[in-house]
């Protein structure tokens, strides 16, 4: 009896690991237009993959929170569009002084929180100051350059110690979220923001429900209710779509295009995203410290074959994806050429006897490791694949830098800073890149900042600091009666304010 019980417990644990096998796809452009009249009372069901552990927007890490809570529930002075442009939100307008040291925002009047309290300039001052001074709050460090935050009338002024071209962008994220000063809401399970939706229910392990905020300061949302259903498994999500139980599938698999479109009720939409499938090289010592070996690995990998296997996404040969400022096509740096790779390996003294280990979190599909093993085998590198639990990856690779090669999908937008940080797990240390990045932050002109990043990105790629296996796509299946579903980078941010459903 006890033995059976122990086995049961073990299988429970094993089954626990299965949940992670569903892996996410990418973002996009406006979905197919809907034929019928939108129904303002409609409820729209959206399938998501990853459920947040809790809803604490102040402290809890994870894009699962940002994805649905920022923009829809919580807002900042400014917001970003799916196309990554910065637009007004709680501030109707802003000005930046020519020296880039003073930002003045004009706060909208008549904005209320979901519990009915009014938004005051003091709430903004308190939110930003508390964020900056509380290390436990996410992205506190992104406000480190801000020396003072003050309000006069409806004007909120941020003064900086040095110019920061990323400040506005940072204010569109966690760092800029405006909360009610002294709010007593239980942030872990509830929410109180200023956005177009009110969070009405979180059924853990199942769904999160938003309802239209009738007191919203801006345009009313297209749907009366949006229900996010957490369905980790793609096959189950497909069945739910075919049975008409969900209206939109996000994080879907482009290989299932035919199945989901078979009866004409759904269309698969591919949007661009900032998902970067990053093959990191531990270049502190050993064979990978030799740039020729790293370059050989890059040239041995058939990137087009990876895109084909995923049926979505595009190639990316440098650290900056197309959606981010500073992108340039770097395919000339590491073209697919196994012969050249063999030559480089021979020069470096590793002919046919190089053995490396790839550490990869277990929730990614086996497609990537399979391609890598066979491509590298072609040029005489034996690749062992060590598939580990994500928390193990965090400890071994991320914290202790104990790895040869590592694969992780980095989804965050504008995260070039990691290449300028020698302590990051990428182990890439080039003072020239660090200097260029610092200059780009200090630039007061956006195109100048982007240009400096572009230069830095080329160097990172030429140093073969890592390989970028692919730039993922947002894979979304949208019901043909749904309009206004964003498709760009929806795994990072999913603004559902404009989604509308028609009965036709």
Partner 1 sequence: MIRYTLTRFALLLLGLLVASVLIFLTLRVLPGDIAHLIAGVGSTPEQQDAIRERLGLDRPLPEQYLTWIGGLFRGDLGTSLLTGTSVVDELAQKAEVTVPLGILSLLIAVVISVPLGVLSAMRRGRASGTGLSVGAQTLAAVPVVWAGMMLVVVFAVWLGWLPAQGFPRSGWSDPWAALRALILPALTIGIVEGAMLLRFVRSATLQAVGQDFVRTAAAKGLTRDQALLRHGLPVVGLSVITVLGLQVAGIIVGAVVIEQLFSLPGIGRMLVADVAARDLPKVQGELLALTGFVLIVGFVVDLVHRVIDPRQREAS
Residue with smaller CB distance to partner 1, 19 or 118: 19
Output the six-digit token pair for 259: 């199945």
Q: How far is the CB of 120 from partner 1 (least distance, A)?
A: 29
Q: How far is the CB of 154 from partner 1 (least distance, A)?
A: 34
Q: How far apart are CA 432 and CA 442, in angstroms?
A: 15
Place of tokens 């903004």: 124
Q: Residue from 33, 41, 136, 214 that binds partner 1 (CB under 8 A)?
A: 136
Q: Is residue 394 involved in binding partner 1 (CB under 8 A)?
A: yes
Q: Residue from 86, 185, 224, 240 that binds partner 1 (CB under 8 A)?
A: 240
Residue with smaller CB distance to partner 1, 360 or 381: 360
Q: Residue from 232, 271, 277, 472 that binds partner 1 (CB under 8 A)?
A: 232
Q: Is residue 389 involved in binding partner 1 (CB under 8 A)?
A: yes
Q: Is residue 305 involved in binding partner 1 (CB under 8 A)?
A: no
Residue with smaller CB distance to partner 1, 239 or 455: 239
Q: How far is the CB of 353 from partner 1 (least distance, A)?
A: 31
Binding positions for partner 1, 12-31, rule CB under 8 A: 12-13, 15-20
- If DSSP codes are grouped into helix, strand and coil, which group holds residue 394? helix
Q: Residue from 29, 30, 39, 60 that binds partner 1 (CB under 8 A)?
A: 60
Number of residues this chain uses to bind partner 1 (CB under 8 A): 59
For residue 186, give every residue at least 6 positions away whose Cβ sits within 8 Å of its Cβ, in sequence order, or none: none
CA distances from 329 to 168, 332, 420 (A): 26, 8, 20
Q: How far is the CB of 61 from partner 1 (least distance, A)?
A: 2
Strand pairing partners for 210? 199, 226
Q: How far is the CB of 11 from partner 1 (least distance, A)?
A: 5
Q: How far is the CB of 239 from partner 1 (least distance, A)?
A: 4
Residue with smaller CB distance to partner 1, 87 or 203: 203
Q: Residue from 11, 95, 147, 382 that binds partner 1 (CB under 8 A)?
A: 11
Q: Which stretch binds partner 1 (CB under 8 A): 185-193, 320-328, 331-339, 433-441?
A: 185-193
Q: Is residue 258 involved in binding partner 1 (CB under 8 A)?
A: no
Q: How far apart are CA 200 and CA 189, in angstroms?
A: 10
Output the six-digit token pair for 84: 């990554």
Q: Which of 98, 73, 77 is nearest to 86 (CA)?
A: 77
Q: How far is the CB of 242 from partner 1 (least distance, A)?
A: 5
Output the six-digit token pair for 371: 């391609």
Q: Which of 62, 92, 65, 107 is nearest to 199 (CA)?
A: 65
Q: Residue from 66, 71, 164, 229 that binds partner 1 (CB under 8 A)?
A: 229
Diameter of the chain by CA atoms? 76
If you write DSSP's letter for every residue of 125-139 in order, what string do you get? HHHHHHHHH-TTSTT
CB burial of 334-350 (b: ≥16 within 10 Å; e: otherwise) equals: bebebebbbbbbeebeb
Q: Residue from 29, 32, 54, 130 that binds partner 1 (CB under 8 A)?
A: 54
DSSP single-letter state for residue 226: E
Q: Residue from 35, 36, 40, 53 that binds partner 1 (CB under 8 A)?
A: 53
Residue with smaller CB distance to partner 1, 274 or 312: 274
Strand pairing partners for 333? none
DSSP single-letter state for residue 219: P
Q: Is residue 309 involved in binding partner 1 (CB under 8 A)?
A: no
If you write DSSP's letter for every residue of 353-386 in order, what string do you get? -EEEEEEEETTS-THHHHHHHHHHHHTTEEEEEE
Q: Residue from 239, 255, 387, 502 that binds partner 1 (CB under 8 A)?
A: 239
Q: How many CB atoms lie within 10 A of CB 328?
A: 17
For residue 99, give every residue at least 6 positions away whose Cβ sits within 8 Å of its Cβ, in sequence order, or none: 163, 444
Q: What are the residues binding partner 1 (CB under 8 A)?
A: 1-2, 4-9, 11-13, 15-20, 51, 53-54, 60-62, 135-136, 138, 186, 188-189, 201, 203-207, 209, 227, 229-233, 235-236, 239-240, 242-245, 388-392, 394-395, 398-399
């Amino acid at each position: 009896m006890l033995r059976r019980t122990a086995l049961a417990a073990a299988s429970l644990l094993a089954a626990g690991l299965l949940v992670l096998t569903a892996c996410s796809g990418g973002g996009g452009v406006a979905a197919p237009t809907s034929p019928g009249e939108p129904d303002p009372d409609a409820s729209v069901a959206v399938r998501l993959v990853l459920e947040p552990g809790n809803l604490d927007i102040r402290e809890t890490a994870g894009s699962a929170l940002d994805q649905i809570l920022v923009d829809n529930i919580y807002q900042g002075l400014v917001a970003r569009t799916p196309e990554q442009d910065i637009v007004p939100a709680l501030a109707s307008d802003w000005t930046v002084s020519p020296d880039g040291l003073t930002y003045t925002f004009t706060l909208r009047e008549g904005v209320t929180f979901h519990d009915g309290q009014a938004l005051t300039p003091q709430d903004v001052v308190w939110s930003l100051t508390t964020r900056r001074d509380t290390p436990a709050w996410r992205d506190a460090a992104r406000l480190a350059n801000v020396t003072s935050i003050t309000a006069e009338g409806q004007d909120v002024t941020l003064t900086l110690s040095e110019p920061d071209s990323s400040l506005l962008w940072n204010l569109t994220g966690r760092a800029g979220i405006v909360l009610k000063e002294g709010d007593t809401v239980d942030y872990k399970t509830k929410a109180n923001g200023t956005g177009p939706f009110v969070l009405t229910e979180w059924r853990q392990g199942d769904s999160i429900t938003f309802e239209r905020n009738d007191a919203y300061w801006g345009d009313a949302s297209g749907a009366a209710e949006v229900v996010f259903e957490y369905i980790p498994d793609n096959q189950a999500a497909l069945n739910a779509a075919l049975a008409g139980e969900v209206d939109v599938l996000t994080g879907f698999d482009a290989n299932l295009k035919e199945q989901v479109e078979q009866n004409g009720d759904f269309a698969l939409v591919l949007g661009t995203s900032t998902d970067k499938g990053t093959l990191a090289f531990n270049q502190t010592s050993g064979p990978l410290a030799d740039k020729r070996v790293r370059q050989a690995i890059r040239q041995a990998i058939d990137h087009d074959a990876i895109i084909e296997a995923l049926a979505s996404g595009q190639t990316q040969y440098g650290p900056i994806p197309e959606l981010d400022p500073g992108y340039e096509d770097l395919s000339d740096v590491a073209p697919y050429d196994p012969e050249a790779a063999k030559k480089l390996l021979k020069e470096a003294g590793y002919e046919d006897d190089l053995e490396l280990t790839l550490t990869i979190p277990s929730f990614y599909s086996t497609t990537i490791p399979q391609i890598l093993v066979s491509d590298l085998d072609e040029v005489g590198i034996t690749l062992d694949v060590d598939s580990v639990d994500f928390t193990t990856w965090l400890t071994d690779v991320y914290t202790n830098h104990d790895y040869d090669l590592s694969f992780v999908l980095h989804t965050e937008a504008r995260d070039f800073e990691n290449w300028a940080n020698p302590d990051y797990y990428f182990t890439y240390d080039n003072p020239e890149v660090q200097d260029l990045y610092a200059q780009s932050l200090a630039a007061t002109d956006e195109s100048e900042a982007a240009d400096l990043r572009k230069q830095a990105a080329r160097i990172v790629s030429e140093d073969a600091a890592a390989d970028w296996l692919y730039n993922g796509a947002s894979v979304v299946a949208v019901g043909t009666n749904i309009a206004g579903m964003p498709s760009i980078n929806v795994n990072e941010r999913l603004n559902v304010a404009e989604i509308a459903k028609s009965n036709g």
